[in-house]
Each structure stands twice: as C-alpha cells, then as structure tokens.
Structure 1
Amino acid sequence: MLEPLLPIRKPTGRPPNWSKRQLIDGLRWRVRVGSSWRDVPVQYGPWQMVYGLFRRWQREGTWARVLTALQTRSDATRRG
C-alpha cells in the first residue's frame, strides 16, 4: 500500500545494503516503542540510516504526502 506513495530510488551509485522496508519497519518500531533513535535494533539497519531516511523524507514532504493519500483512501472506503 505504501510503495506507490514513496519516492523512487535513483539507479545511480551503489546498491543499498538495507531495503526501504527494513528502514521503514525500524521507524515503525521506534514510534511504537517510543525509544530513542540509538535504540533501534540493528535488524532494521543502523540507527543513523533509519533516522536519515526519516529526516530526508520529512524535509521533502514525503510523510505529509503519504498521510494525505492514506487519509483519502480511508475516507473513500468509508463512503463507498
């Protein structure tokens, strides 16, 4: 559901070591648990990468667009 709403990775440079899914799961874990960034388990990637993704998408407005799109879908299913 989220994938079409997320920015597309540019094919230049090295391939990533961590998938977007792992990093987003790390963000979700941090929000659910309420921990500090440094406590994000390494299975989600280094905490610096999880935080970096969060901040980059925050600055670019990605999270606002995702929220708006999900709210729109939710409203449409309630009406339909």
Structure 2
Amino acid sequence: MQWKRIEPLLPDRAPRRGGRWPDHRQVIDAIAFKYRTGCPWMDLPEEFGSWKGVHNRLRKWAADGTWEKVFTALLAQADSEGDLDWVVAVDSTIVRAHQHAAGAR
C-alpha cells in the first residue's frame, strides 16, 4: 500500500541517456537500510545492487526535488487522514560555549 503512494511521484525509470535504471523499490530499500543501520555506503549488501548507483540516485533525487515532492505528498496525505499529531515543543535551555568556540584568541 505504501509503495502505491510513492511510485507515481518518482521519475521515469528510463533516463534521458543510458540504459534503464534498476527498480526504484530496490533503491529506496537500500537507502532505508543504509540510514536505518548506519552502515557506510560501501558496506551495503549486494542484494541492493551497486552502492554507487544507490548513492548517485539518492543525490540526484535530492538535487531535482524528488524527495521533497515525495515527503510533501506523504505528509499531506497523512495529515488529511488524521495520522499526524502536530505537537510543538519549545525548549528554553541555554547552552554556554567556551570563549574559544566563539572565535576568541
């Protein structure tokens, strides 16, 4: 069900140049795995394909606004269905830094 929400928002799998991209679902799973586990890009399991391809697609989608479009659409849908609780937390804690942290000599 989640994939049906995301898939129409992603770019076409046939880019302007070169061959056809691997499945978007596999790439999104690889990105989620990387950030969930905190592993380095080079240590992605082989089942996700080339780590360079996954990383390049993440960067490309960040640059062209694809991720923003996906997150905006998912947030709007979740909000309209009442799945979000908008809670604002304000913290007035004061953090003091050492004088050298402010550039003092």
Report the TM-score range of the alignment, normalised by the length of the smaller protein. 0.7 to 0.9
Displacement over 6 Å in runs of 4+: none
Instruction: Return 5+ residue gaps in structure 1 as ranges.
Output: none
TM-score, structure 1 normalization: 0.86
Bigger drift between 68-77 and 4-13 goes to 4-13
Identity value in percent: 38
Structure of larger gyration radius: 2
2-structure distance, mates of 1:40, 1:11: 24
**1:34 lines up with 2:33 in the alignment:** no
Q: Secondary structure at the match of 1:66?
A: helix
With a CA cutoff of 8 Å and minimum separation of 6, indicate the structure with the bigger relative contact order: 1
The aligned runs of 1:1-80 (5 Å cut-off) are: 1-10=5-14, 13-16=18-21, 18-78=22-82
Instruction: Return 5+ residue gaps in structure 2 as ranges.
Output: 84-105
Count of residues in correspondence between the two structures: 78
2-structure distance, mates of 1:53, 1:68: 19
**2:97 corresponding residue in structure 1:** none
TM-score, structure 2 normalization: 0.67
1-structure distance, mates of 2:50, 2:14: 21
Cα offset for 1:50? Answer: 0.6
Higher helix share: 1
2-structure distance, mates of 1:77, 1:50: 32
2-structure distance, mates of 1:27, 1:52: 11
